[in-house]
Structure 1
Protein backbone atom coordinates (compact mmCIF):
# COMPACT_ATOMS: atom_id res chain seq x y z
CA UNK A 1 0.00 0.00 0.00
CA UNK A 2 2.71 2.59 0.85
CA UNK A 3 4.52 1.74 -2.40
CA UNK A 4 1.36 2.21 -4.44
CA UNK A 5 0.70 5.54 -2.75
CA UNK A 6 4.28 6.61 -3.45
CA UNK A 7 3.87 5.78 -7.13
CA UNK A 8 0.69 7.85 -7.26
CA UNK A 9 2.49 10.79 -5.66
CA UNK A 10 5.38 10.57 -8.12
CA UNK A 11 2.94 10.41 -11.05
CA UNK A 12 1.03 13.38 -9.69
CA UNK A 13 4.18 15.46 -9.38
CA UNK A 14 5.18 14.62 -12.94
CA UNK A 15 1.74 15.10 -14.50
CA UNK A 16 -0.35 17.57 -12.47
CA UNK A 17 -2.31 18.52 -15.60
CA UNK A 18 -3.42 14.89 -16.01
CA UNK A 19 -5.03 14.84 -12.57
CA UNK A 20 -6.78 18.14 -13.20
CA UNK A 21 -8.10 16.83 -16.52
CA UNK A 22 -9.25 13.54 -14.94
CA UNK A 23 -11.15 15.28 -12.14
CA UNK A 24 -12.87 17.66 -14.55
CA UNK A 25 -13.94 14.85 -16.86
CA UNK A 26 -15.28 12.96 -13.84
CA UNK A 27 -17.21 16.11 -12.99
CA UNK A 28 -18.94 16.00 -16.38
CA UNK A 29 -20.30 12.56 -15.46
CA UNK A 30 -21.17 13.45 -11.85
CA UNK A 31 -22.79 16.86 -12.28
CA UNK A 32 -26.14 15.49 -13.58
CA UNK A 33 -26.46 13.40 -10.41
CA UNK A 34 -25.44 16.23 -8.08
CA UNK A 35 -27.89 18.88 -9.34
CA UNK A 36 -31.21 17.38 -8.24
CA UNK A 37 -30.91 16.99 -4.46
CA UNK A 38 -29.77 19.12 -1.51
CA UNK A 39 -27.03 16.61 -0.66
CA UNK A 40 -25.98 16.56 -4.29
CA UNK A 41 -25.70 20.36 -4.38
CA UNK A 42 -23.53 20.23 -1.25
CA UNK A 43 -21.34 17.64 -2.96
CA UNK A 44 -21.28 19.89 -6.02
CA UNK A 45 -19.82 22.68 -3.89
CA UNK A 46 -17.21 20.38 -2.38
CA UNK A 47 -16.28 19.11 -5.83
CA UNK A 48 -15.88 22.69 -7.04
CA UNK A 49 -13.46 23.39 -4.19
CA UNK A 50 -11.46 20.30 -5.19
CA UNK A 51 -11.18 21.56 -8.77
CA UNK A 52 -10.12 24.97 -7.50
CA UNK A 53 -7.44 23.35 -5.36
CA UNK A 54 -6.12 21.40 -8.34
CA UNK A 55 -6.14 24.56 -10.46
CA UNK A 56 -4.07 26.30 -7.78
CA UNK A 57 -1.69 23.33 -7.71
CA UNK A 58 -1.20 23.55 -11.47
CA UNK A 59 -0.55 27.29 -11.28
CA UNK A 60 1.93 26.79 -8.44
CA UNK A 61 3.84 24.32 -10.61
CA UNK A 62 4.07 26.84 -13.46
CA UNK A 63 5.99 30.10 -13.73
CA UNK A 64 2.87 32.19 -13.25
CA UNK A 65 2.34 34.70 -10.45
CA UNK A 66 0.90 32.55 -7.67
CA UNK A 67 -0.60 35.35 -5.56
CA UNK A 68 -2.97 36.25 -8.39
CA UNK A 69 -4.47 32.76 -8.37
CA UNK A 70 -4.73 32.70 -4.57
CA UNK A 71 -6.36 36.14 -4.49
CA UNK A 72 -9.06 34.79 -6.81
CA UNK A 73 -9.52 31.37 -5.21
CA UNK A 74 -9.76 32.28 -1.52
CA UNK A 75 -12.54 34.90 -1.79
CA UNK A 76 -14.33 32.68 -4.30
CA UNK A 77 -14.52 29.81 -1.80
CA UNK A 78 -15.50 32.18 1.01
CA UNK A 79 -18.31 33.76 -1.04
CA UNK A 80 -19.55 30.33 -2.15
CA UNK A 81 -19.75 29.13 1.46
CA UNK A 82 -21.50 32.29 2.64
CA UNK A 83 -23.96 32.14 -0.27
CA UNK A 84 -24.78 28.50 0.48
CA UNK A 85 -25.09 28.85 4.26
CA UNK A 86 -27.06 32.10 4.31
CA UNK A 87 -28.95 31.58 1.03
CA UNK A 88 -27.57 34.66 -0.71
CA UNK A 89 -27.65 33.96 -4.47
CA UNK A 90 -26.28 37.42 -5.20
CA UNK A 91 -23.01 36.49 -3.48
CA UNK A 92 -22.96 33.26 -5.50
CA UNK A 93 -22.80 35.30 -8.69
CA UNK A 94 -19.66 37.08 -7.45
CA UNK A 95 -18.17 33.72 -6.44
CA UNK A 96 -18.77 32.42 -9.96
CA UNK A 97 -17.20 35.57 -11.38
CA UNK A 98 -14.03 34.96 -9.38
CA UNK A 99 -14.01 31.27 -10.31
CA UNK A 100 -14.32 32.19 -13.96
CA UNK A 101 -11.36 34.56 -13.64
CA UNK A 102 -9.31 31.88 -11.87
CA UNK A 103 -9.99 29.30 -14.58
CA UNK A 104 -9.09 31.81 -17.28
CA UNK A 105 -5.86 32.59 -15.44
CA UNK A 106 -5.04 28.90 -14.99
CA UNK A 107 -5.75 28.23 -18.67
CA UNK A 108 -3.46 31.10 -19.62
CA UNK A 109 -0.75 29.69 -17.35
CA UNK A 110 -0.99 26.28 -19.02
CA UNK A 111 -0.90 27.84 -22.49
CA UNK A 112 2.26 29.75 -21.54
CA UNK A 113 3.70 26.47 -20.20
CA UNK A 114 2.97 24.68 -23.48
CA UNK A 115 4.47 27.48 -25.58
CA UNK A 116 7.63 28.04 -23.55
CA UNK A 117 9.83 25.60 -25.50
CA UNK A 118 9.94 23.53 -28.66
CA UNK A 119 9.58 20.13 -26.98
CA UNK A 120 6.37 18.17 -26.57
CA UNK A 121 6.19 16.17 -23.34
CA UNK A 122 3.44 13.89 -22.14
CA UNK A 123 2.49 16.42 -19.47
CA UNK A 124 2.07 19.10 -22.15
CA UNK A 125 -0.35 16.81 -23.99
CA UNK A 126 -2.34 16.41 -20.77
CA UNK A 127 -2.11 20.17 -20.33
CA UNK A 128 -3.71 20.66 -23.76
CA UNK A 129 -6.76 18.68 -22.62
CA UNK A 130 -6.84 20.35 -19.20
CA UNK A 131 -6.66 23.80 -20.79
CA UNK A 132 -9.65 23.01 -22.99
CA UNK A 133 -11.74 21.96 -20.00
CA UNK A 134 -10.57 24.98 -18.00
CA UNK A 135 -11.73 27.30 -20.77
CA UNK A 136 -15.07 25.46 -20.95
CA UNK A 137 -15.54 25.83 -17.18
CA UNK A 138 -14.47 29.48 -17.24
CA UNK A 139 -17.04 30.42 -19.89
CA UNK A 140 -19.73 28.33 -18.17
CA UNK A 141 -19.19 30.32 -14.98
CA UNK A 142 -19.28 33.52 -17.05
CA UNK A 143 -22.61 32.38 -18.53
CA UNK A 144 -23.89 31.71 -15.01
CA UNK A 145 -22.99 35.22 -13.92
CA UNK A 146 -24.58 36.64 -17.06
CA UNK A 147 -27.93 34.96 -16.50
CA UNK A 148 -27.96 36.00 -12.83
CA UNK A 149 -27.23 39.62 -13.63
CA UNK A 150 -29.37 39.65 -16.79
CA UNK A 151 -32.31 37.25 -16.32
CA UNK A 152 -33.49 35.66 -19.54
CA UNK A 153 -30.04 35.71 -21.13
CA UNK A 154 -30.44 32.13 -22.39
CA UNK A 155 -33.38 30.09 -23.58
CA UNK A 156 -33.74 26.44 -24.50
CA UNK A 157 -36.10 23.95 -26.10
CA UNK A 158 -37.14 22.64 -22.65
CA UNK A 159 -38.43 25.05 -19.97
CA UNK A 160 -37.61 28.04 -22.12
CA UNK A 161 -38.42 30.62 -19.45
CA UNK A 162 -36.47 28.96 -16.62
CA UNK A 163 -32.85 29.80 -15.74
CA UNK A 164 -30.47 27.36 -17.33
CA UNK A 165 -28.90 24.77 -15.02
CA UNK A 166 -25.16 24.42 -14.53
CA UNK A 167 -25.08 21.31 -16.71
CA UNK A 168 -26.86 23.17 -19.52
CA UNK A 169 -24.41 26.06 -19.31
CA UNK A 170 -21.45 23.68 -19.32
CA UNK A 171 -22.97 21.82 -22.28
CA UNK A 172 -23.31 24.97 -24.38
CA UNK A 173 -19.80 26.01 -23.35
CA UNK A 174 -18.29 22.76 -24.62
CA UNK A 175 -20.37 23.01 -27.80
CA UNK A 176 -19.18 26.53 -28.53
CA UNK A 177 -15.55 25.94 -27.63
CA UNK A 178 -15.29 22.84 -29.80
CA UNK A 179 -17.16 24.49 -32.67
CA UNK A 180 -19.59 21.59 -33.13
CA UNK A 181 -22.63 23.77 -32.47
CA UNK A 182 -24.67 20.87 -31.06
CA UNK A 183 -26.78 22.69 -28.51
CA UNK A 184 -30.47 23.42 -27.96
CA UNK A 185 -29.57 26.41 -25.76
CA UNK A 186 -29.57 29.84 -27.35
CA UNK A 187 -28.30 33.23 -26.15
CA UNK A 188 -31.06 35.82 -26.30
CA UNK A 189 -29.82 39.03 -24.70
CA UNK A 190 -26.91 41.03 -26.20
CA UNK A 191 -24.70 40.41 -23.15
CA UNK A 192 -25.05 36.64 -23.54
CA UNK A 193 -24.43 36.81 -27.28
CA UNK A 194 -21.25 38.82 -26.68
CA UNK A 195 -19.93 36.12 -24.33
CA UNK A 196 -20.87 33.43 -26.86
CA UNK A 197 -18.95 35.20 -29.62
CA UNK A 198 -15.90 35.53 -27.36
CA UNK A 199 -15.96 31.80 -26.62
CA UNK A 200 -16.32 30.94 -30.29
CA UNK A 201 -13.27 33.09 -31.03
CA UNK A 202 -11.33 31.54 -28.13
CA UNK A 203 -12.12 28.01 -29.33
CA UNK A 204 -10.98 28.70 -32.89
CA UNK A 205 -7.76 30.40 -31.74
CA UNK A 206 -6.97 27.63 -29.24
CA UNK A 207 -7.18 24.98 -31.95
CA UNK A 208 -5.36 27.11 -34.52
CA UNK A 209 -2.49 28.26 -32.31
CA UNK A 210 -1.93 25.86 -29.40
CA UNK A 211 -3.17 22.47 -30.61
CA UNK A 212 -1.80 22.87 -34.15
CA UNK A 213 1.59 23.84 -32.70
CA UNK A 214 1.71 20.74 -30.49
CA UNK A 215 0.76 18.56 -33.46
CA UNK A 216 3.42 20.18 -35.63
CA UNK A 217 6.15 19.70 -33.01
CA UNK A 218 5.08 16.08 -32.49
CA UNK A 219 5.35 15.40 -36.24
CA UNK A 220 8.82 16.97 -36.33
CA UNK A 221 9.93 14.59 -33.56
CA UNK A 222 8.88 11.48 -35.46
CA UNK A 223 11.80 9.62 -37.07
CA UNK A 224 11.83 9.77 -40.83
CA UNK A 225 12.16 6.52 -42.74
Structure 2
Protein backbone atom coordinates (compact mmCIF):
# COMPACT_ATOMS: atom_id res chain seq x y z
CA UNK A 1 0.00 0.00 0.00
CA UNK A 2 2.78 2.41 0.92
CA UNK A 3 4.62 1.59 -2.31
CA UNK A 4 1.48 2.30 -4.32
CA UNK A 5 1.27 5.78 -2.81
CA UNK A 6 4.95 6.53 -3.40
CA UNK A 7 4.97 5.60 -7.09
CA UNK A 8 2.71 8.47 -8.29
CA UNK A 9 4.76 10.95 -6.27
CA UNK A 10 7.96 9.55 -7.71
CA UNK A 11 6.62 9.79 -11.25
CA UNK A 12 5.43 13.36 -10.64
CA UNK A 13 8.79 14.39 -9.23
CA UNK A 14 10.54 12.74 -12.16
CA UNK A 15 8.30 14.64 -14.60
CA UNK A 16 9.02 17.94 -12.85
CA UNK A 17 12.77 17.36 -12.77
CA UNK A 18 12.81 16.46 -16.46
CA UNK A 19 10.81 19.57 -17.42
CA UNK A 20 12.06 22.56 -15.38
CA UNK A 21 10.97 24.94 -18.14
CA UNK A 22 7.41 23.66 -17.87
CA UNK A 23 7.38 24.19 -14.11
CA UNK A 24 8.75 27.72 -14.48
CA UNK A 25 6.14 28.68 -17.07
CA UNK A 26 3.22 27.12 -15.18
CA UNK A 27 4.15 28.85 -11.92
CA UNK A 28 4.42 32.21 -13.69
CA UNK A 29 1.03 31.71 -15.32
CA UNK A 30 -0.41 30.79 -11.92
CA UNK A 31 1.12 34.00 -10.56
CA UNK A 32 -0.71 36.03 -13.19
CA UNK A 33 -3.99 34.58 -11.93
CA UNK A 34 -3.03 35.04 -8.27
CA UNK A 35 -1.77 38.64 -8.36
CA UNK A 36 -5.22 40.31 -8.60
CA UNK A 37 -6.29 38.56 -5.38
CA UNK A 38 -3.27 39.75 -3.38
CA UNK A 39 -4.17 43.43 -3.24
CA UNK A 40 -1.95 46.15 -1.75
CA UNK A 41 -2.23 45.09 1.89
CA UNK A 42 0.88 44.02 3.87
CA UNK A 43 -0.31 40.42 3.60
CA UNK A 44 -0.79 40.79 -0.13
CA UNK A 45 2.68 42.28 -0.60
CA UNK A 46 4.15 39.46 1.48
CA UNK A 47 2.45 36.81 -0.67
CA UNK A 48 3.51 38.68 -3.80
CA UNK A 49 7.12 38.59 -2.61
CA UNK A 50 6.82 34.88 -1.82
CA UNK A 51 5.61 34.12 -5.33
CA UNK A 52 8.45 36.20 -6.72
CA UNK A 53 11.03 34.29 -4.69
CA UNK A 54 9.54 30.98 -5.82
CA UNK A 55 9.80 32.06 -9.45
CA UNK A 56 13.41 33.11 -8.88
CA UNK A 57 14.26 29.69 -7.44
CA UNK A 58 12.58 27.93 -10.35
CA UNK A 59 14.41 30.17 -12.82
CA UNK A 60 17.76 29.17 -11.32
CA UNK A 61 16.67 25.52 -11.49
CA UNK A 62 15.72 25.96 -15.16
CA UNK A 63 19.05 27.62 -15.97
CA UNK A 64 20.87 24.65 -14.43
CA UNK A 65 19.36 22.48 -17.16
CA UNK A 66 20.80 24.75 -19.88
CA UNK A 67 24.29 25.38 -21.20
CA UNK A 68 24.42 28.83 -19.55
CA UNK A 69 26.45 29.68 -16.48
CA UNK A 70 24.49 28.90 -13.33
CA UNK A 71 26.79 31.01 -11.19
CA UNK A 72 25.66 34.13 -13.06
CA UNK A 73 22.07 33.42 -12.03
CA UNK A 74 23.17 32.86 -8.44
CA UNK A 75 25.23 36.08 -8.35
CA UNK A 76 22.25 38.02 -9.67
CA UNK A 77 19.71 36.05 -7.63
CA UNK A 78 21.16 36.51 -4.15
CA UNK A 79 20.95 40.35 -4.08
CA UNK A 80 17.56 40.11 -5.79
CA UNK A 81 16.27 37.98 -2.91
CA UNK A 82 17.60 40.48 -0.37
CA UNK A 83 16.12 43.46 -2.21
CA UNK A 84 12.79 41.66 -2.65
CA UNK A 85 12.50 41.25 1.11
CA UNK A 86 13.57 44.87 1.73
CA UNK A 87 11.09 46.11 -0.86
CA UNK A 88 8.25 44.26 0.88
CA UNK A 89 9.25 45.69 4.26
CA UNK A 90 10.23 49.24 3.25
CA UNK A 91 9.35 50.18 -0.36
CA UNK A 92 11.77 53.11 -0.62
CA UNK A 93 12.34 54.54 -4.13
CA UNK A 94 16.03 53.63 -4.15
CA UNK A 95 15.29 50.07 -3.07
CA UNK A 96 12.50 49.74 -5.65
CA UNK A 97 14.76 50.92 -8.48
CA UNK A 98 17.67 48.68 -7.45
CA UNK A 99 15.35 45.70 -6.99
CA UNK A 100 13.60 46.30 -10.32
CA UNK A 101 16.84 46.67 -12.29
CA UNK A 102 18.35 43.52 -10.77
CA UNK A 103 15.11 41.61 -11.28
CA UNK A 104 15.12 42.67 -14.94
CA UNK A 105 18.76 41.62 -15.37
CA UNK A 106 18.04 38.26 -13.72
CA UNK A 107 15.01 37.48 -15.85
CA UNK A 108 16.58 38.63 -19.10
CA UNK A 109 19.66 36.50 -18.39
CA UNK A 110 17.33 33.57 -17.71
CA UNK A 111 15.69 34.23 -21.08
CA UNK A 112 19.12 34.21 -22.73
CA UNK A 113 19.91 30.90 -21.01
CA UNK A 114 16.66 29.32 -22.20
CA UNK A 115 17.20 30.52 -25.78
CA UNK A 116 20.72 29.12 -25.70
CA UNK A 117 19.23 25.88 -24.40
CA UNK A 118 16.83 25.71 -27.37
CA UNK A 119 19.62 26.52 -29.87
CA UNK A 120 22.12 24.07 -28.39
CA UNK A 121 21.45 21.31 -30.93
CA UNK A 122 19.19 20.33 -33.78
CA UNK A 123 16.93 18.05 -31.71
CA UNK A 124 13.79 19.34 -30.01
CA UNK A 125 12.98 17.79 -26.65
CA UNK A 126 9.69 18.10 -24.77
CA UNK A 127 11.27 20.47 -22.27
CA UNK A 128 12.61 22.65 -25.08
CA UNK A 129 9.04 23.02 -26.37
CA UNK A 130 8.00 24.11 -22.88
CA UNK A 131 11.02 26.45 -22.88
CA UNK A 132 9.48 28.46 -25.73
CA UNK A 133 6.63 29.41 -23.40
CA UNK A 134 8.86 29.85 -20.36
CA UNK A 135 11.15 32.20 -22.28
CA UNK A 136 8.19 34.32 -23.31
CA UNK A 137 6.92 34.70 -19.73
CA UNK A 138 10.42 35.37 -18.41
CA UNK A 139 10.97 38.16 -20.95
CA UNK A 140 7.57 39.64 -20.06
CA UNK A 141 8.54 39.65 -16.36
CA UNK A 142 11.92 41.24 -17.15
CA UNK A 143 10.44 44.15 -19.07
CA UNK A 144 7.71 44.64 -16.46
CA UNK A 145 10.47 45.19 -13.90
CA UNK A 146 12.18 47.62 -16.27
CA UNK A 147 8.91 49.53 -16.50
CA UNK A 148 8.72 49.59 -12.70
CA UNK A 149 12.20 51.15 -12.55
CA UNK A 150 11.38 53.66 -15.30
CA UNK A 151 8.21 54.68 -13.46
CA UNK A 152 10.17 55.52 -10.31
CA UNK A 153 13.01 57.37 -12.05
CA UNK A 154 10.66 59.29 -14.39
CA UNK A 155 7.33 59.69 -12.57
CA UNK A 156 4.28 59.83 -14.81
CA UNK A 157 5.91 57.63 -17.47
CA UNK A 158 2.77 55.52 -17.80
CA UNK A 159 -0.87 56.52 -17.68
CA UNK A 160 -4.04 54.43 -17.80
CA UNK A 161 -7.70 55.02 -18.46
CA UNK A 162 -8.44 54.24 -14.79
CA UNK A 163 -6.90 56.70 -12.29
CA UNK A 164 -4.39 58.16 -14.77
CA UNK A 165 -2.56 60.30 -12.20
CA UNK A 166 -1.50 57.40 -9.98
CA UNK A 167 1.52 55.15 -10.34
CA UNK A 168 0.78 52.00 -12.21
CA UNK A 169 0.55 48.81 -10.18
CA UNK A 170 2.69 45.73 -10.82
CA UNK A 171 -0.26 43.94 -12.48
CA UNK A 172 -0.79 46.89 -14.83
CA UNK A 173 2.88 46.98 -15.81
CA UNK A 174 2.94 43.22 -16.38
CA UNK A 175 -0.24 43.55 -18.44
CA UNK A 176 1.45 46.25 -20.54
CA UNK A 177 4.53 44.05 -20.95
CA UNK A 178 2.56 41.00 -22.12
CA UNK A 179 0.44 43.11 -24.49
CA UNK A 180 3.59 44.73 -25.92
CA UNK A 181 5.49 41.47 -26.29
CA UNK A 182 2.58 39.81 -28.10
CA UNK A 183 2.12 42.95 -30.26
CA UNK A 184 -1.63 42.77 -29.64
CA UNK A 185 -1.82 46.41 -28.57
CA UNK A 186 -4.70 45.69 -26.22
CA UNK A 187 -3.31 47.44 -23.14
CA UNK A 188 -5.01 50.53 -21.75
CA UNK A 189 -1.70 51.39 -20.02
CA UNK A 190 0.17 53.83 -22.24
CA UNK A 191 3.78 55.08 -22.13
CA UNK A 192 3.74 58.86 -22.43
CA UNK A 193 7.31 59.97 -21.60
CA UNK A 194 10.27 59.44 -23.97
CA UNK A 195 12.23 56.97 -21.80
CA UNK A 196 9.17 54.82 -21.22
CA UNK A 197 8.39 54.77 -24.93
CA UNK A 198 11.98 53.79 -25.72
CA UNK A 199 11.81 50.73 -23.44
CA UNK A 200 8.42 49.76 -24.87
CA UNK A 201 9.80 49.96 -28.42
CA UNK A 202 12.71 47.70 -27.44
CA UNK A 203 10.25 45.13 -26.10
CA UNK A 204 8.18 45.33 -29.29
CA UNK A 205 11.29 44.59 -31.35
CA UNK A 206 12.27 41.76 -28.99
CA UNK A 207 8.82 40.20 -29.35
CA UNK A 208 8.98 40.26 -33.14
CA UNK A 209 12.51 38.81 -33.19
CA UNK A 210 11.50 36.07 -30.75
CA UNK A 211 8.70 34.90 -33.02
CA UNK A 212 10.77 35.26 -36.21
CA UNK A 213 13.91 33.54 -34.92
CA UNK A 214 13.16 31.29 -31.94
CA UNK A 215 9.60 30.10 -32.56
CA UNK A 216 10.24 29.70 -36.28
CA UNK A 217 13.34 27.58 -35.61
CA UNK A 218 11.57 25.30 -33.14
CA UNK A 219 8.65 24.81 -35.53
CA UNK A 220 11.03 24.01 -38.39
CA UNK A 221 12.83 21.40 -36.27
CA UNK A 222 9.51 19.85 -35.24
CA UNK A 223 8.44 19.65 -38.88
CA UNK A 224 11.76 18.06 -39.83
CA UNK A 225 11.38 15.50 -37.02
CA UNK A 226 7.89 14.60 -38.22
CA UNK A 227 9.16 14.28 -41.78
CA UNK A 228 11.92 11.89 -40.67
CA UNK A 229 9.38 9.76 -38.82
CA UNK A 230 7.18 9.54 -41.91
CA UNK A 231 10.17 8.58 -44.08
CA UNK A 232 11.15 5.94 -41.51
CA UNK A 233 7.71 4.35 -41.64
CA UNK A 234 7.86 4.14 -45.39
CA UNK A 235 4.93 4.17 -47.81
CA UNK A 236 1.70 2.44 -46.90
CA UNK A 237 1.13 -0.72 -48.93
TM-score (norm 1): 0.96
The alpha-carbon deviation at position 89 of structure 1 amounts to: 3.7
**Aligned residue for 1:168?**
172
How much is the aligned-residue C-alpha RMSD, in angstroms? 1.2
Q: 76-85 vs 110-119, which deviates more?
A: 76-85
Asked whether 1:191 is paired with 2:195, we answer yes
Unaligned segments of structure 2, at least 5 residues: none
Q: What's 1:95 paired with?
A: 99
Tell me which residue corresponds to 1:138.
142
Question: 1:158 — aligned with what?
Answer: 162
Encode CA deviations 1:85-142: one digit per residue, 9 max, x unaligned: 2443421221121111010000000001101111111111100000000000000000
The alignment status of 1:60 with 2:69, answered yes or no, reads no
Aligned residue number for residue 73 of structure 1: 77
Note if contact 2:143-2:203 (Cα within 8 Å) is conserved in structure 1: yes
Unaligned runs of 5+ in 1: none
Residue 177 of structure 1 is matched in structure 2 by 181
Q: Which has the larger radius of gyration?
A: 2
Instruction: List, as ranges, runs of 4+ consecutive aligned residues in structure 1 with deviation greater than 3 Å.
Output: none
Residue correspondence of structure 1 range 22-41 to structure 2 within 5 A: 22-41=26-45
- CA separation in 2, counterparts of 1:46 and 1:124? 27
Q: Partner residue of 1:16?
A: 20
- Conserved 8 A contact 1:152-1:189: yes
TM-score (norm 2): 0.91
Distance 1:41 1:201 in 2: 32
Q: How many residue pairs align between the two structures?
A: 225
What's 1:106 paired with?
110
